[in-house]
Structure 1
Amino acid sequence: MSLPDATIDGRLLESARRHFLEKGFLNAQLKDICDDADVTTGALYKRYRGKEELFDALVADTLREIEESISQRAGIDLHTVSDQALAGAWVNTYDGVMEWFSFCNARRDGFVLLVRCAAGTRYGNFLHDFCSHMTEIDYQWLVEMQRRGLCRTDIDARELHVLLTAYWEAYYEPFVHDFTWEEIHRHAKIMCKLFNWKEALEIKL
């Protein structure tokens, strides 16, 4: 009795990754994915229901790690944060910007799949959903600064969402457009000048 081929899953996922990155979810064909993996469609359907489950498997770790990162920020008790730390959270430093770029780059394929290749999947609105989630968290930080009289008070959650969408787009677009790591370093320096939150929010510290 022959043993099951333990390499099938790995070959399928690697082939799917290549096809989704090259063609996007909508244009990638299951037959091509299977042919390149040297796997029958029957073997695929024993493991996955179709293209979307393959896509889910490829982005699952990236999504989980993003959620963990967001949860850390959301779990902070703002009443225990000093004025200086509260205001400092809005200061864009080169090291701070590069920290998030490094996070993205370490999961580059997963990020590119989510921000460039996900049309037709349940992640098609990934960026909007991510920005909405981040706005909910960052708005609490803004409200706390406003409560303490540390910044302007006329920016509401809706406007902050618009501003943060532009901000996070600046993080994700370099991955959409295949920036090299050197180009990302240069872009990060420009971002620090472009998104001057201290001036925009009129932070007093």
Structure 2
Amino acid sequence: MKISETQQKILTVGKREFLDKGFKDASLRKIVAEAGFTKGAFYGYYPDKAALFEALVSDAADGLTEQFKSAQDAHFDLISENETAKSRELSTKYLLYFVNYIYDYFEEFKLIICCSEGTKYSDYIHELVELDVSRTEKYYTLLKDKGKIAGSVSHELHHMITSAYFTAVFETVVHDMTREQAIEYIKELAIFFNSGWDGLLKLI
């Protein structure tokens, strides 16, 4: 849908205000004034401040979630292809893809990770963790049934490790790493976590 010049002005000023102060402390009055419009003009596009925030981040957030689901589907495909030993390699490949996606929408993810308290996006990382744990446990169950895993991991430990992993990934955004720095960091992070998972699960 084409965005009007007025709407784009509101989005631009809103993004700047949210990045500067975070959602909770951002002033809708200031956004409207700086954009040069009345509150009536603003409400013609967005019912409240939360809707403006969502308009800024929803496409990027939903896009990463959908790509993440596709990556999980690709892991299930390894079972039918009898190539489950490539799980770690595939995970690292997709992780690097995700990082590049995040950097393509860096400001949007900066808003989500650092400025979203008070919005539904404040639990974004947690929701990704829940999605990953749920789908991955189904994957591990299938692998165990086929004799492809010799080890095991409890649900509680699985959740804690995954939470630590996702939090570490998004530290690239928190610390304003360059794309190049983030990629090198992620490669090392993947080696560390993959070694731990291999030690616990012992893929065959």
TM over 0.5: yes
The answer to whether the 8 A contact 2:64-2:101 is kept is no
Work out whether 1:36 is the aligned partner of 2:29.
Answer: no
The alpha carbon displacement at 1:8 in A equals 0.9
Aligned partner of 1:201 in structure 2 is 201
Structure with greater proportional helix content: 2
Q: 2:54 aligns with which of 53, 56, 63?
A: 56
Q: How far is the alpha carbon of 1:91 from its aligned partner?
A: 3.5
- The alpha carbon displacement at 1:82 in A equals 4.5
SS at match of 2:83: helix
Residue 11 of structure 1 aligns with an amino acid whose one-letter code is K
**Structure 2-normalised TM-score?**
0.86
Hey, what's the Cα distance between the residues in 1 that align with 2:92 and 2:47? 44
Match of 1:111 in 2: 109
Provide the aligned C-alpha RMSD in A. Answer: 2.5
Mapping of residues 43-122 of structure 1, within 5 Å: 43-73=41-71, 75=73, 78=76, 81-82=79-80, 85-91=83-89, 95-122=93-120
SS at match of 2:88: coil
Distance 1:38 1:167, change over 3 A: same
Report if aligned partners of 1:34, 1:44 keep a CA contact under 8 Å in 2: yes
CA distance in 1, matches of 2:192, 2:8: 42
Q: What is the TM-score of this pair, normalised by structure 1?
A: 0.86
Summarize the Cα distance change of 1:85–1:116 in structure 2 as closer, same or farther, 3 Å threshold.
Answer: farther
- Residue type matched to 2:129 in 1? C
State yes or no: 1:186 paired with 2:184.
Answer: yes
Task: Give identity over the alignment, percent.
Answer: 24
SS in 2 for 1:124: helix
Please give the per-residue CA displacement for 1:20-55, whole angstroms capped at 9, x wherever unaligned. 112110111011111221222221122211110101
| 8 Å Cα contact 2:151-2:200 kept in structure 1 | no
Alignment check: 8 A CA contact 1:19 1:28 kept: yes
Look up the match of 1:129: 127
Following TM superposition, by how much is the alpha carbon of 1:132 offset from its aligned partner in structure 2, in angstroms? 0.3
CA-to-partner distance for each residue in 1:134-166, whole Å, 9 max, x for gaps? 111111111122222222443133321211111
Cα deviation for residue 114 of structure 1 reads 1.3
Number of residue pairs aligned between Structure 1 and Structure 2 = 200
Greater than 3 Å deviation, 4+ residue runs: 73-80, 91-97
Amino acid corresponding to residue 53 of structure 1 in structure 2:
A
**Alpha-carbon distance, 1:10 to partner:** 0.3
Which residue is equivalent to 2:148?
150
Q: Secondary structure at the match of 2:203?
A: coil
**Matches of 1:181 and 1:74 in 2, distance apart?**
24
Cα deviation, residue 185, structure 1: 2.5
1:18 to 16, 19, 29: 16
State whether residues 149 and 201 of structure 2, in contact with CA within 8 Å, keep that contact through their aligned partners in structure 1.
Answer: yes
Q: Aligned letter for 1:50?
A: D
Distance 1:36 1:85, change over 3 A: farther
In the alignment, structure 2 segments of 5+ residues that lack a partner are: none
- CA-CA distance at 1:76 after TM superposition: 5.7
Q: 2 CA distance for matches of 1:156 and 1:125?
A: 23
Unaligned runs of 5+ in 1: 1-5
CA contact (8 A) 2:17 2:26 kept: yes
